[in-house]
Amino acid sequence: MAAALIGMVLLVVPHKLHAPGIWRRQPLPSGKVRPQLVNALDTAVLLTPDGSLWAWGGTYFNLTNVFPQPATLQVPRRIGLDSNWMRVAFSGMHTVALKNDGSLWAWGQNTDGAFGLPNLTNNVGTPTRIGTETNWTQIAAGTGWSLALKVDGSLWAWGRNPRGQLGNGTTRNTFVPTMMGQDRDWRTMAAGYEASIALKSDGTIWLWGFDGARTFLTPRQIGIDTNWLALSARGFTVLALKSDGTLWLKSGNAYPNASLSVPGLSTNFIQIGPERDWAEIYAGEDCSFFARKKDGSWWGCGANYGGQFGRGTNISTLLASPTRLPLNFEPWAFTAGGMTTLLLAKDGQLWAWGTRLGAGQPSAARRKIQTFLSPVARHFQSLRFLLKYGTEQRYDIDQKPYLLWELPAEVRRALGTGPNGSTNNSTSGHPADASHE
């Protein structure tokens, strides 16, 4: 009898992921595209495995850069009806996306030409095609500018260019996609706050724009190494992996990111720790980053202003060197973001921790303070922490993983599965319960 009862319990208790309250369930089919999560400012965009796009947030800007009509959402809402999206990039002010036919699209704010359209408009609320080419393969979105890679290895840029982030030797904005130089050996690229960075097929790494200390109007090779493998950029922070498994950091915020590894301001990459088993990197905005080792463990480093490390500790905690986090999951999609961390698990559950998107509308006093401090903090990165705090107490921070949403029935049907229990009608989600461990 006892054995039978134990067996029944094991049948109904789901397998747990090794993080507080995150359960491991049966994974969903892979779908036709690899899902993506991107977030910046107060907004997140999700590319689901069926090829549809979803967005939520809007605490400050009411999602006017994503949807035709203003909205503030705590759970994702679908963008249009198309299900043939393949990649997405988001700057906080505009979205760039690729369809599976290789066509390029954009929407949101276009005041600096981020859309690559000759006719400037202030805001476009629906996806708008850029040109007629169908040979685009990768995209990146900076603050008012865009980058895209073609099948032939050529790199193209357009939009805002006061710091040379388009790499064309000038500081003039460009309103249509323009090939950057003559090289056709680019492999991948990323966009930061005022700089672009890219890898070539020979393993070299290149940067242009303003990196927090210097300005380059054309691509400049960083160092002489030829074994760079991957990169991730957010704000003034650039993370890079070498093929030997070492982790490197270059940033105007390098010191607050990893003060035990970085003695002060550095204009070159600095190795973070002696380890040679890093496998994945995710740069966060301002002063934080995530990294994952080959054994599956997750590590965080830098400032924890919004509780984005999910450690259940005081939000002002500073991790001066990579510190192991109480998280152990295999992500389907993941993004470090600003003060919000997002995870799509392979069972279709969307988890979040840190500052909750779409919640905690700031008071008028807080908005005035941020308006005043923004231009100052933009030029003095060490003061950006002032933007993290307002005049009122915050109630919209989750210091542990928070079950926000699940892929809805329409997405699951497209993957060939029926809908399981859903939390999609919930506006508040479910905080992870450490007692489940």
Check whether 252 has a pLDDT greater than 70: no
In a domain, 141, yes or no: no
In a domain, 115, yes or no: no
Check whether 427 has a pLDDT greater than 70: no
In a domain, 164, yes or no: no
Q: Phi and psi of 151, rounded to 5°?
A: -60, -35
Q: What percent of the chain has pLDDT over 90?
A: 56
Dihedral sign for Cα atoms in the order 60, 303, 139, 168: positive
**Do 78 and 29 belong together in one domain?**
yes
**Contacts of residue 73, Cβ cutoff 8 Å, sequence gap at least 6:** 55, 56, 57, 58, 63, 358
Residue-wise pLDDT tens digits, 345-394 = 999 999 999 989 998 665 565 556 656 655 555 555 445 545 544 433 34
Question: Based on the structure, what is the number of domains in the chain?
Answer: 2
In a domain, 59, yes or no: yes
More confident residue, 306 or 54: 54
**Do 368 and 404 belong together in one domain?**
no
pLDDT score, position 72: 95
CA-CA distance, 341 to 84, in Å (whole number)? 26
More confident residue, 50 or 92: 50
Q: Do 325 and 300 contact (CB within 8 A), yes or no? A: yes
CA-CA distance, 327 to 220, in Å (whole number)? 37
**Do 380 and 407 belong together in one domain?**
no
More confident residue, 363 or 74: 74
Q: What percent of the chain has pLDDT over 70?
A: 77
pTM listed for this prediction: 0.84
For residue 378, what are the domain limits? 361-394
**Do 367 and 437 belong together in one domain?**
no
pLDDT score, position 312: 83
What is the band of 162 on the pLDDT scale with cuts at 50, 70, 90? very high
What is the band of 142 on the pLDDT scale with cuts at 50, 70, 90? very high
In a domain, 223, yes or no: no
- For residues 47-69, give the mean pLDDT: 94
pLDDT score, position 6: 37
In a domain, 409, yes or no: yes
Cα dihedral 25/278/165/200 (nearest 10) = -110
pLDDT score, position 417: 87
- For residues 135-144, give the mean pLDDT: 95
**Do 354 and 377 belong together in one domain?**
no
Q: Which two tokens stand for residue 391?
A: 């005049």
The lowest-confidence range among 317-326, 335-344, 382-391 is 382-391
In a domain, 139, yes or no: no
In a domain, 174, yes or no: no
pLDDT score, position 212: 78
CA-CA distance, 144 to 136, in Å (whole number)? 20
**Do 33 and 67 belong together in one domain?**
yes
pLDDT score, position 192: 87
Q: Do 354 and 306 contact (CB within 8 A), yes or no? A: yes
**Do 406 and 437 belong together in one domain?**
yes
